[in-house]
Amino acid sequence: MNISAKSVRFDDSSMWVELSDGRTIGVPLAWFPRLMHAGRDQLEACEISQRGLHWAELDEDVSIAGLLAGRGDMTHANKAAA
């Protein structure tokens, strides 16, 4: 099954993605620091493709597969406590 994004919207703390299969998934903006620190105009400049979401100005890409798997920003390694 090929699930894609139909639309994306934001509130103060979350990103909401409407999917082609009728579901809407919400994720915390804290998962994506670039998005969390972006201005409203920057967030609204999202390009939707078959595979995911792209913000050119922010250099941010979010895959639908990653959202469905519960993955946030994978560009920084998590630091584990010793």
Q: Does residue 40 surpass a pLDDT of 60?
A: yes
Beta bridge partners, 18, equal: 7, 24
When divided into structural domains, the chain yields a total of 1
Q: Does residue 80 surpass a pLDDT of 70?
A: no
Q: Is residue 28 part of a domain?
A: yes
Q: Specify the pTM.
A: 0.85
Q: Is residue 74 part of a domain?
A: no
Task: Provide the domain limits for residue 64.
Answer: 5-68
Per-residue burial over 25-50, b = 16 or more CB atoms within 10 Å of its CB, e = otherwise: bebebebbebbeebeeebbeebebee
Q: Is residue 75 part of a domain?
A: no
Q: Summarize pLDDT for 46-67 with one digit per residue, the tens.
A: 999 999 999 999 999 999 999 9
User: What contacts 54, CB < 8 A, 6 or more positions away?
Assistant: 46, 47, 60, 61, 62
pLDDT at residue 72 in the model: 87
Nearest Cα neighbor of 6 from 19, 15, 25 is: 19
